[in-house]
Every structure is written in C-alpha cells, then in structure tokens.
Structure 1
Amino acid sequence: MTPRDAGRSRLYEAERMVLQMFERPGVGRTVRIAGTEVTLPVEARFASVDSVSDHVDRVLAMPAVRARFTRAGESVGVRERQGHRSAHYHRTASGTAEIAIPSSSEGRWALRELVVLHELAHHLDDSGGPAHGRGFVDTLIDLVAAVLGPETGFVYRVVFGDSGVM
C-alpha cells in the first residue's frame, strides 16, 4: 500500500514561491531570504521534450548526483504528456522510469529546470515514503543543490521550512 501523500499541496505551494523568486529576481539576480542576500543561478529553460531528455541524462551523469543518489545509475525516459496542467513521473511494474512533460503552448511552463528536477527527484527518492513526503523533500533539496548550487538548496530549505513542508 502506498503511503498517504498528505504534504503534496503544501509542497506545491512552497515550490510556487520558489519558482516566482526565479521568475522575478532582484537586481543582479539577488533575493533576500532569511536575512541573507542570495544570488540565484540562471535556471535552464527548454525548447523541447528532447532537450529535457538530454538535460536529464546530463544530470544523472553528474559525479555529485551519482555519488549522492543510488538510483542515478538508472536511466529515465522523457516523453511528451498530453494536456498542460501537470508534469508527471512514473515507474512501471517492470521498473522502467519515465517523466512526462507537457510541451503544448499552454504547457510550456513545465519546460523549465526546476520542474524537471522535481520530477527527477521522484526517480531518485528511495525513501519508500509518500510521493511528496520528507524523503522526497530531502532528495529534492539535495538534487537542486547539486545541480544549481548550494544557494538554491538554501532557498528551498528556507521556503520549505517556513511553509511547514519540513
């Protein structure tokens, strides 16, 4: 039986706050959070599902990601998702992993690095807990810190903590 995913809506709301920070950074890409001025890195935006797939492969090959996550050695397919409201991670009964990303004009919001890293964190989370539970949250924070830098991990940790996610 899959554990109840009680923290999902709270996590999504906290992630929306982080996404807004990346969309509207201050002068010099800085934000002030928890009394600290942080320079946000540039977040990759993707032109197609194929470019998302290339990025996923590159992230899984990063030494820092391979060293931290056992499942980084397992490949993840990326396909276009019908509709535009959500991206999705799925592991089939045979163990094949797949991320589905909307790429229609209404779904282009998902063709961004932070959304892709969220879906990839589902693949890397081996905690066995709820889909958006504490194990996933820790995995997501560690992943964004490894890929986008410790500043981004700090932003996630503070926003998630202030939002009651952690």
Structure 2
Amino acid sequence: MRDVQRAKVYAAEEFVRTLFDRAAQHGTGSIDFFGTALTLPPEARFGSVESVRRYVEDVLAMPAVRDRWPGVGVPAVRARRGLTAAHYERSGDRGTAAGTIAVPDRHTTWALRELVVLHEIAHHLADGGAPHGPAFVGTMAELAGWVMGPEAGHVLRVVYAKEGVTG
C-alpha cells in the first residue's frame, strides 16, 4: 500500500519531540499547548542498543499491551549503521518475533529516545494497511498514552489531527 501519510506523521512526531525537548529544558515539564498549560511526563533516553532492547521487551510485557495484542512476539533490536533514521523491518506476521527494530547508535542520540522507539514498536504492533496509516497512528497514540502517560497520548492525537493525519 502507498504510504500517503508518512510526511505528515513525521512532521507531527518531530513537533511532539520538540515539545518534549522544550519541556525538559524548562525543567518543569510544563508547556503551553495551544493555550492550555500541560505538564508532560519525562521522556526516557537510552545509552545503548541493549537498553533499547530491554525497553522494547518491557513495553511488550505490559499487561495493557499483552491484552490488546495477545501473542505478539518481541522483535530483535540491532544497531543501524546510518545516522539519519531508525526503522522497523517486518519479516513475517506480527505474531512472531521475526521483526527487527534498527536504531543508530553512533555519533547521534536523536534516535535513542522514547518517542522514536515507541514509533518503531508501533510498526511492530500495527497490523495491515499503509506503514503510517490509520492503524499505525492509532497504535502509536495508544502506546504513548499507556507507556508515557495520558498527556503524551493526548499531545500526539492533537498534533496528528493538526497535521491532517487520519487515525
């Protein structure tokens, strides 16, 4: 399927990452979100591919995730040579552990953050349709809300809508 929402999803998520960066810089987590004061949860940062691997395992072991996607396997996590992108490699149906999450681990830290890793986990969980289609978008917002907190899920949903992303 054609991935018609890709650019919009990336733009929305880049904006959300910027909001989290600004909240962290202020030290309070508080931001002005379209005229409303909102306190964002802290975003996890990772120091290694191994810590990303443990995080992925922990997220997929959460009761809410297991209930929503029963029997989903844990993807492999590996270092990626390129510096410009993280990605998910699907290699079988989502019920297997055959997928792989690849994150850059050298000379960059942008991908070693919670929102990027959740994006790749959402690819593992979203079944069918375009890679950044409605199933993916709903999964990403749902995951962020369960894992990071309802404020993170809310911010993603609002910014997706503002960017014209359907989900």
TM-score if structure 2 supplies the norm length?
0.91
What is the CA–CA distance in structure 2 between the aligned matches of 1:70 and 1:34, rounded to whole Å? 37
**Equivalent residue number for residue 16 of structure 1:** 14
Question: More helix per residue: 1 or 2?
Answer: 1
Written as runs of structure 1 = structure 2, the 5 A alignment for 1:90-101 is: 90-93=89-92, 96-101=98-103
**Equivalent residue number for residue 138 of structure 2:** 138
1:89–1:123 Cα contact (<8 Å) kept: yes
1:81–1:102 Cα contact (<8 Å) kept: yes
**Equivalent residue number for residue 88 of structure 2:** 89
What is the CA–CA distance in structure 2 between the aligned matches of 1:69 and 1:10, rounded to whole Å? 26
2:79–2:103 Cα contact (<8 Å) kept: yes
**Equivalent residue number for residue 4 of structure 1:** 2
1:145–1:152 Cα contact (<8 Å) kept: yes
1:45–1:113 Cα contact (<8 Å) kept: yes
Written as runs of structure 1 = structure 2, the 5 A alignment for 1:104-115 is: 104-105=106-107, 107-115=108-116
Shift of 1:103: 0.5
1:11–1:132 Cα contact (<8 Å) kept: yes
Q: Say how many residue pairs are matched.
A: 161
**Equivalent residue number for residue 125 of structure 2:** 124
What is the CA–CA distance in structure 2 between the aligned matches of 1:93 and 1:149, rounded to whole Å? 31
Shift of 1:70: 3.6
2:83–2:106 Cα contact (<8 Å) kept: yes
Structure 2: segments with no counterpart, 5+ residues? none
Shift of 1:68: 2.0
Structure 1: segments with no counterpart, 5+ residues? none
Compute the RMSD of aligned alpha carbons: 1.5
2:88–2:123 Cα contact (<8 Å) kept: yes
**Letter paired with 1:99:** I
Shift of 1:64: 1.4
**Letter paired with 2:100:** E
2:92–2:99 Cα contact (<8 Å) kept: no
Q: 1:33-62 CA distances to partner (integer Å, 9 max, x unpaired)?
A: 244321111111000000000000000001
Shift of 1:29: 0.8
Q: 1:120-164 CA distances to partner (integer Å, 9 max, x unpaired)?
A: 0000102x1100011100000000001001110000011111111
Compared CA separation, residues 18 and 5, structure 1 to 2 (3 A) = same
Shift of 1:91: 1.6
What is the CA–CA distance in structure 2 between the aligned matches of 1:6 and 1:51, rounded to whole Å? 32
Shift of 1:92: 1.5
